[in-house]
Amino acid sequence: MSQKENATAKLQVRAPSRPPNGLFLQDGPNLGVPKKILALAFVEARKVFMENFENEDRKSQATALKATRVLLLFETDHLTAANFRKRRLLALKTDTTPAAQLAYRKALQYEFCFLDSILTSPLHRQSKSPTLWHHRSWLFDLFRPSILELVPENIRADFWRTELKSICKSGERHPHNYYAWQYVRRLEERVDGMEATIEFTETVKTWCCKHPGDTSGWSCLLYLLPKVEPLAKRTTMVREILSYALRLQFEHESLWVFIRTIVAHETLQENRAELFTSLMEYEKEIKDGSPVLVERVQRTLDWIRQHGDMDHVRNASVT
């Protein structure tokens, strides 16, 4: 993890084995570490960290910083290690000398790469660490006013896309990754312009359609859709999702919870009637089909009738 600090590594904790060098397997940026070796490294790193993190001299601080990499890889909710990394960045930020500011910018870049290496790697629990996702949100707030707002719009857009790509990958590594999708909400609140909001929403929509059973992804999409303007664009997105679900006859409960919630929600205004009508017609088409799918559609319609705007539902039922 220390060979290329400005590049994202792919990490994997492997089953007990005997790597060629006795410690780990490495192929370019990919690193596989046996769990036993990682546990031993954690014990040593914790000892080194505790011996150095309170010392103010540069060498001790650098040694403690290196130890936090292993600490957070093995125990992702190690608050002391995460807070140490925060304090180091803040110390660099307050030093206004040119050399310190250059080091600060490099440290910010490395911190994003370090977090990416853990949060997007195929690890059992690390990608869903609330401590690391909170650390990433804190890092973004630190990074945004000092650097991001000083660069051209196209570079800012590239940054949003990179962050969103990391979130989507983390969501694939650990399904139902609430903490990753919560970070999307925080990102969207800080981006400027409807164009960026629409791109965010389209990206999340595409991801959700590829992972229809992921309730955390759909929940995030429910948060984003009401922010999309104009109404026609918002409705088109929902119509595409509904058409996709009906065409492929998806039975995933998370998807149907999303459909019933968004169709009943006031954000679609008068366009809800059209979508509700499509569902009623679909119910007739599949009456002899999969019992699970029939039940999903029936429960969705019943829920919309009970919780939706009754005027729109009634008008759709009449037509």
Residue with tokens 């490294």: 41
pLDDT tens digits along 95-133: 888 888 899 989 999 999 999 999 998 887 788 999 999
pLDDT computed for residue 307 by the predictor: 86
Q: Which domain holds residue 140?
A: 1-152
pLDDT tens digits along 3-21: 445 566 566 565 555 555 5
- The stretch 171-186 carries a mean pLDDT of 93
How many domains in the chain? 1
CB contact set of 14 (below 8 Å; sequence gap of 6+): 25, 32, 33, 34, 35
- Name the average pLDDT for the chain: 87
Residue 142 lies in a domain: yes
- Which of the two residues, 218 and 33, has the higher pLDDT score? 218
CB contact set of 277 (below 8 Å; sequence gap of 6+): 316, 319
pLDDT computed for residue 25 by the predictor: 62
**Listed range (208-222, 285-299, 304-318) with the worst mean pLDDT:** 304-318
pLDDT computed for residue 34 by the predictor: 75
Asked whether the predicted pLDDT for residue 231 surpasses 90, the reply is: yes
Q: Which helix (H) or strand (E) holds 37?
A: helix 35-52
CB contact set of 143 (below 8 Å; sequence gap of 6+): 108, 112
Q: What is the pTM of this model?
A: 0.87
Give the three-class secondary structure for 10: strand
- The stretch 252-276 carries a mean pLDDT of 93
**C-beta neighbour count of 67 within 10 angstroms:** 24
* Confidence label for 153 from pLDDT (cuts 50, 70 and 90): confident
pLDDT tens digits along 27-85: 556 667 778 888 899 999 999 999 999 998 999 999 999 999 999 999 999 999 999 99
Query: What are the start-end ranges of the H helices in 193-252?
Result: 194-210, 215-224, 231-248
Strand order in the sheet with 30-34: 10-14, 30-34, 25-27
Asked whether the predicted pLDDT for residue 319 surpasses 60, the reply is: no
Residue 250 lies in a domain: no
Residue 273 lies in a domain: no
Residue 238 lies in a domain: no
45 neighbors 71 (Cβ within 8 angstroms): yes
The type of residue at 111 is E
**C-beta neighbour count of 210 within 10 angstroms:** 11
Residue 215 lies in a domain: no
pLDDT computed for residue 61 by the predictor: 94
198 neighbors 228 (Cβ within 8 angstroms): yes
pLDDT computed for residue 2 by the predictor: 52
Asked, as a colleague might, if the bond just before 230 is cis with ω within 30 of 0, I would say: yes
Residue 73 lies in a domain: yes
Residue 86 lies in a domain: yes
Residue 19 lies in a domain: yes
> What are the structure tokens assigned to 181, written together?
């999708």
